[in-house]
Structure 1
C-alpha cells in the first residue's frame, strides 16, 4: 500500500515537472511594421509579436525621429523617403533573439531651412562672413576659419566690384579653407529650375530630388535679385539659395537643403 502511494506521488511530481518545462514560453523576437502616410510626415505602426521577453531593444535607421528605444511598442515618425530598417532584440535574462525588417516609405524627404543669412561682399570683412556651414548652420568670417571647422564649410561667397556676385565651392584657393570639401554651384539660370515663388512654398525636397546640378562658374548681378541659386554638396545633398536683398556690405539670403 505504501509503495503504491509513494510511486503515485513520484509519477505525479514527474508529470507536473515535465508539464512545467513543456509550457515555458520560447524567446522569439518578432514584430510587424506598417507605414501610415507619406514622408516627411509618415508614421510607422509597430505591433510587437515577440514571446518570452522581459525587455526590448529597438534600433532605427536614418530618417526616423528616434534612433533607438527600449519601449515594448515605440512610436516612430519618419521624414525620409525610401527604405527604413528596423531591428528588434528581445531579451530574457542573458538570452537574446534578434530580428530585422525593412519597410518602404513613399513621399519626399524633409528639408532644412536657414533664414536671413548675411554673406559679406568683401574679403576679410570684420562684420560679415563669406563662408557657410550646413552642418552648424553658421556663417563664418575669414578670420574664424581653422583646421577644426574647415571641413564643415559647404558654401563660399564672392563678389566682383560689388556688382556681380557668385557662390562657389570653398575649395577655391581664394578662401584658404583647410580641409575644404567640394560643392557644385549653378549661380544663374535664364529659366530658373526653382522660382522664388516655388522656393517659398517648398516644405520637402520634391523640387530638388530630380535636379541635375552642374558647376557653371557664372555669376548674377543686382538686376537678378531676388532669384535662386542651386548647389549640391559632396555628399549629394541638393539645395537652393534664394537671394533677397543686397547693399554695399552684404547679400541677404534664405537657404533650403535636403536634410539627408
Structure 2
C-alpha cells in the first residue's frame, strides 16, 4: 500500500525548535520519487517539549487517514474476531474538542462481511513522544517526527442488529507543517523493529469489540497499512506476500474481494441506466 510524500520540515517555535513536514499537492506527490535517506544521529526531544504540542497542534487531519494518496482509498483495513476475518474502517469526520485539545471526536462507518455499520466516538491522546527511528521516513530530510499515543472508544449505531463498542489503544506517527497542521508520517516500507510503535504504518488501532446485548468480546485491530498486523495464521496462507494477488484460500477470511475502486464508503447516488 503506497504512501504519499510530504515536503521539507519547517520550523515551529515552542519551547524548542520543532521541525516537520510540509504537505504537497496530489500532482506533486505523484511526480516525486521516494527519496531514501541515510539515518542521521537523531536527538530525542524531552517529553515535556513533546507534550507542549498537544494544545498547539490539531491532529484531526492525521487521525482521519486523509493522506494525499488515501483520497483514492481512505479506508483502514484490519482483522476481527478469533478467525481474523477482514474488517474495514472509514473515518468520515474527525474534529478536536474545543475545550479539551487532547480529545478528538470521530464519526465513520465500518464494513464486516458486507454489512456496513455507522459509528461515532472519541480518541483521546494520552501522551506525545519523539519518534527516534526515522531512517525510512519519507516526509522530510530532517526526519523530525512524533508518535501520539491515545485511547479510543467507537460506539456502533445501537439501532443496528448486533451493534457493539470498539475500544482500545491507538498510535499515530505525525509531523507538523509551518501552519501547525499535523500530517501523518509516511515511510518507505513497514518497520518491524522496536523503535516505531506503528511499525511504519503511520496509524494503528488495537483493541476489542464488545457486544451491547451479550457483553461478548472479540479482538479487533486495523491500520492504514494492514500488512503490519497480518496474523501469523494468514501470513502462512499468503496474505500480503504477493501484493494485490489474493490466494483462493483467503476467501473465507474476507480477502477474496480486494478491489482498489470498491468505494463502499462513498455515498452512492441513484445510478443512471441507459436501456
State the TM-score, normalizing by the size of structure 1.
0.24
**Larger Rg over CA atoms:** 1
State the TM-score, normalizing by the size of structure 2.
0.23
